[in-house]
Amino acid sequence: MGVGQNFPLAGILLAIVTFVAMLLLGLDPGLAVAVLVIWVGSLLLAAGRPPDPQRVSTDPGFTPESMSKLIEHGATPILVTQKNTVAVANAAARRMLGRHIIGQDARVAFRQPEAISLISNNRNGRALVRGLVRRRDIWEINRQSLDDKLAVIELINQTAEADISRAHTDFVANASHELRTPLASILGYVETLQESGGDLDTPTATKFLATIEREAKRLHSLISDLMSLSRVEAEKHDLPQEVIALAPLIHTASNDAAGEARSGRLDLSLDPSLHVLGDRQQLEQLVRNLVDNALKYARPDSTVKVMLDTSRDGQARITVADEGEGIAPEQIPHLTRRFYRTDPGRSRASGGTGLGLAIVKHIVQRHRGRLDIESDLGKGTRVIVRIPLADGSDASERDVAITTEKTTAGTMS
């Protein structure tokens, strides 16, 4: 009921009559005014107080039908049960559980022991239900009684939170494993050198030291990539503002990735007119990662093509193409996962950390771009990055997409 309907007119009239009577009886006017103010104030305060939810349910107008209008368009699935039978389900609940849920026993609908116990015992509380809609779904049921017959059940999707928690756990486990492997190798060889007391011949000692150096460099690369990934993720919502000429940046970063030994294998074709709003350091890292991957996993005598041009939708397009073994189509959607490798042994032997494409994906996301990977088994791989031009009007959010047109070569680290 509204406050207007609760306005205490009769009580106020009674207070005024009392006030007049006190004056006629010759009582102190100040006392009479004080009594009037306190009386009327208490009545108005009581009229403006929200109704007691425990008393609302006793109102004849408080019915499942009246509640249906209140909850119908809520984004959260909500059910109203009457003696544990679903009397009302809003649109979100009907989409989720089906229209047949109305009139069904709520315990049958949820099936889980925790939910059945919660509903059967008419308790107010929460319970987790797994596999309610899909096999890996996790839903929290929040039940609150309105009276001895009616109750409201709210369904809260906890699947995303569980997935995030699982991803963090997997990441920590994978990172720990990747860090432990080179550390164990380094410690093992150092202990051998220490225990030998200088008795090892020079070739053996040199071999051991070379192994220690290689594993230390691998450890350094892994830590650097972890830090880079952390920085990129922390800045992913900050739009870059610097106008960058892509051609000289790609030229420098490609040659840095190749080094003197492999620079002859690069074939660069760069449009000098293209500019983007970007983070220079991150774009250089993106190019280095892609070129380094292509050079590692292409055939030793083949050429890696690095191209910069304009895509059909008017964006800057960076393409890195190699000639290698290619990647199976079913593996392409997983390539940007952290520590994912199609050939773990080969990747580690070449110094790969398994984080290169994960870093590329997050850099592309921050630049509101798109990432595509195409591959043909036995022929090679093409990685294509599209980024909105600085002078273009299309700066809308784009999801990073991994498409499978064909597949290319080389196992990506």
The encoded tokens of residue 411 equal 């196992």
- The pLDDT, as a whole number, for residue 36 is 72
What one-letter code names the amino acid at 94? R
Contact 280, 247 (CB under 8 A): no
* Three-state secondary-structure class, residue 328: coil
d(CA 70, CA 90): 9
Please state the pTM of the whole predicted model. Answer: 0.53
CATH number of 64-157: 3.30.450.20
What integer pLDDT is reported at residue 230 of this predicted model? 79
What's the chain's Rg over C-alpha atoms? 35
- The catalytic residues are 177
**Greatest Cα pair distance in the chain:** 122
Q: At residue 101, what is the residue type?
A: I
> Tell me, what's the pLDDT at 173?
66
pLDDT in tens, the chain (413 residues): 444 556 667 777 777 877 777 777 776 776 667 767 777 766 676 666 555 544 444 444 456 666 776 777 777 888 888 888 888 888 888 888 888 888 888 888 787 787 788 888 777 888 887 777 777 778 888 888 887 788 888 888 887 766 666 666 666 666 666 777 778 888 887 887 777 766 667 788 788 888 888 888 888 878 887 888 878 877 877 888 899 999 999 999 999 988 877 878 899 999 999 999 999 999 999 999 999 989 988 888 889 999 999 999 899 999 999 988 888 888 888 888 877 776 655 555 555 677 889 889 999 999 999 999 998 888 889 999 999 998 743 433 333 333 333 333 343 44
Task: Dig out the tokens for 39 from the structure.
Answer: 């009386």
The answer for residues whose C-beta is within 8 angstroms of residue 139's C-beta and 6 or more apart is 128, 129, 130, 132, 133, 155, 156, 157, 158, 159
Any idea what the Cα angle at residue 198 is, between residues 195 and 204, rounded to 5°? 90
Q: Tokens 């680290």 appear where? A: 413
d(CA 11, CA 189): 93
Q: What is the fold, at CATH topology level, of the domain defined by 165-234?
A: Helix Hairpins (1.10.287)
pLDDT of residue 394: 41
Strand 315-321 relative to strand 275-278: parallel, antiparallel, unpaired? unpaired
Q: Is 64-157's fold the same as 165-234's?
A: no
Which is nearest to 132 in space by CA: 158, 162, 103, 150?
158
Kindly give, in sequence order, each residue whose CB lies less than 8 Å from that of residue 19, ignoring residues fewer than 6 positions away. 32, 33, 35, 36
pLDDT of amino acid 308: 95
Distance CA(143)–CA(109), nearest Å, equals 14
State the helix-helix crossing angle for 280-297 and 246-262, rounded to 10 degrees: 40
The domain defined by 242-388 folds into Heat Shock Protein 90 (3.30.565)
pLDDT of residue 87: 86
pLDDT at 401: 39
Q: How far is the C-alpha of 111 from the C-alpha of 104, rounded, in Å?
A: 12
Q: How far apart are CA 391 and CA 370, in angstroms?
A: 18
Q: What is the DSSP letter of 72?
A: T
Coil, helix or strand for 327?
Answer: coil
State phi, psi for 313 to the nearest 5 degrees.
-90, 15
Cβ pair 202, 240 in contact under 8 A: no
- Tokens read off for 130: 């797994």
What are residue 376's DSSP bridge partners? Answer: 380
Span 336-382, pLDDT tens digits? 887 777 665 555 555 567 788 988 999 999 999 999 999 888 888 99
Provide the residue ranges of all domains of the chain, joining segments of one domain with +. Answer: 4-50, 64-157, 165-234, 242-388
Tokens representing 23 are: 């004056």
